[in-house]
Amino acid sequence: MGLSLAMLAAGGCVSERVSPPGRGVLVKPLGAPASLPSGPLTQPAAAQTSSLQVRLALKPVGLLPYDGRTLPLNSPDGRYLAVQTTPGAVDVVQVGAGGLSRPAWAQDAAAGEPLTLGRGATLEGALVEGGDSERWIGRLEWATGTVTRLTPQGADYRGGVLLRDGTLIAVRKTEGGAGELVAVSQGEAKGIALQGLEPLLPLLSPNQATLGVLAKREDALWLVLLSRGGEGGYAEVARHALLAGGAEAGAARAAGPVDAMPGLAVPTDSPLAGAVVFLHPAQDRVAVAHATTGRLSLLSQGVFAASCLSRGGSAALTLTSARGLLLASWEPGTGLSPDGRPGPAIELASRPFVARPLVGAEAHLLLIGPGSARAGAAPRDELQVILAQLAGSEGEKTAPDR
C-alpha cells in the first residue's frame, strides 16, 4: 500500500493540499548534490549529553529512480532496496562496495503480476501487495525475486506490517466492505478486537511492544494503542482523537514516517520504549504516543519524519525537516520535560534526508533524500542513497532485538 508523508517545501511546512496516494516523501531536486565528506558534518556538542557527542561519516552509494511519491523499502541490514519504478512495477537493487546494482536474477526477469510496495522489509525480502478485487500481501524475496504470499486466499488484505516472529498484522476487508484487524501466522488469520472503531492501518513501536492502530468512527480518525501481552494477546492502553474528518487520507499521511522501520532493542527505561511514532495529520508534525503514560508528545513544527535509533544502551530520534537532519537525545535524566519531549538536538546533515536505522550492519543509518538535477532528468525522478556511520564512544554495530 502506498502511503503519503509530506512535501519538502522551502519553508519547512507540510502542506495539507498535497496528499497523493504514494507512501513516502515528495522531494524537490535541490540542484547538484553537495560534496559529501567522509569526515564529520558537525562537531560534538560538549555541553550536551554523551549520546549527542557523535559525528556522521557519509558514504554515497548511488541514485535510485523515484516515482515522485513512494520511498523505497530497505532490508534491515541495508544490503537490498526495493523500488516502485512505475505503477505496478517493483525493482530490487543491491547495495555493495561499488555502489548500487541489480541482482543477477533481475537482469533478465520477465514482467510478472503487478505489484505495489508494502510497508516494511525483513532480511528475507520486502513486503508487497498484489491482486485487484481481492488484495493479498506477500514477500518479494531479495535472493531470488520470487513472491511468497503471506495472507490466506478468499479475503482482501491491506496495509500489513511484520513482527519479528513472522506474524503479519493487517486489515482484512469483510464481505460488507468494513475492515477488521487481524494477525496472520502460518496461513491462519485471527481477529484483534478494536472496540467501536474500524481499523485502517496498523503501526508498531520501535521495540514492537506496542501496536498502534489508525482507525475511524464515521469519518473521524483515531489512534488506538494496544499493548502486546503473552501468547499474542492485546490490551488497549490509550486512544487519541486525531482528525474530525478525512479519516482514510489522514491515516495514509500519518503512517508514512514509520514505514520500513526494523524492530529495535530499546532500553526498557527509555521514554521511547513502547512509544508509537507517527505524523500527526492535523498538527503537520511528527508526534510520539507513549504507551506507558497514555500521553501524546508533539515534536517541533516542520518535523515531518522521525525514526528511533537505539545504540550503546540509549535511544535517540532522528528528526527530518526541510532544513536538514537532526539527532535528538531521548533518555531518562537528560532534561526531558514532564510530557516526554526530547532533549537538545544537533545537526547531522543540512539536507532533508529521511533516516532509516540499520541492524546488524557496519553503517548505523541509511539516508534517503533528494537526488541531483542532472541533464535530462525529469523533476523528482531520482533519490540519493547514502550509508551513514555514527562515530563516537558508542560506535558499535546496532543489533536487532531478538
Lowest mean per-residue pLDDT among 27-41, 242-256, 300-314, 362-376: 27-41
228 pairs with which residues across the strands?
Answer: 234
* Contact call for residues 274 and 264 (beta carbons, < 8 A): no
Lowest mean per-residue pLDDT among 104-113, 205-214, 352-361, 371-380: 371-380
- Is pLDDT of 395 > 50? no
The grid cell for 330 is 531521548
* Averaged pLDDT, 290-309: 88
- Is pLDDT of 187 > 60? yes
**323-351: per-residue pLDDT in tens?**
899 888 765 444 333 344 555 678 888 88
CA dihedral 281, 284, 289, 293 (to 10 degrees): -120
Residue type, 186: Q
Average pLDDT, the chain: 79
374 against 54, higher pLDDT: 54
- Is pLDDT of 44 > 70? no
At 109, the pLDDT band (50, 70, 90 cuts) reads: low
Residue type, 45: A
Instruction: Give the sheet arrangement for strand 116-121, strand by strand.
Output: 116-121, 125-130, 136-141, 147-149
Look at strands 4-7 and 24-26 and give their pairing: parallel
- Cα separation, 15 vs 199, in Å, equals 25
* Contact call for residues 169 and 179 (beta carbons, < 8 A): no
**237-277: per-residue pLDDT in tens?**
999 999 999 999 999 999 987 777 777 878 887 878 889 99
pLDDT in the model for residue 43: 29
* Averaged pLDDT, 73-88: 93
DSSP code per residue over 236-298:
EEEEEEEESS-HHHHHHHHHGGGTTPPPB---TTSTTTT-EEEEETTTTEEEEE-TTT--EEE
Q: Which residues of 181-218 are buried (b: 16+ CB within 10 A; e: fewer)?
A: bbbbeeeebeebebeebbbbbbbbbbbbbbbbbbbbee
Look at strands 156-162 and 147-149 and give their pairing: unpaired
The grid cell for 5 is 508523508
Cα-to-chain-centroid distance, residue 314: 20
* Averaged pLDDT, 294-318: 85
- Is pLDDT of 376 > 50? yes
What pTM does this model have?
0.82
- Is pLDDT of 180 > 80? yes
- Cα separation, 370 vs 386, in Å, equals 11
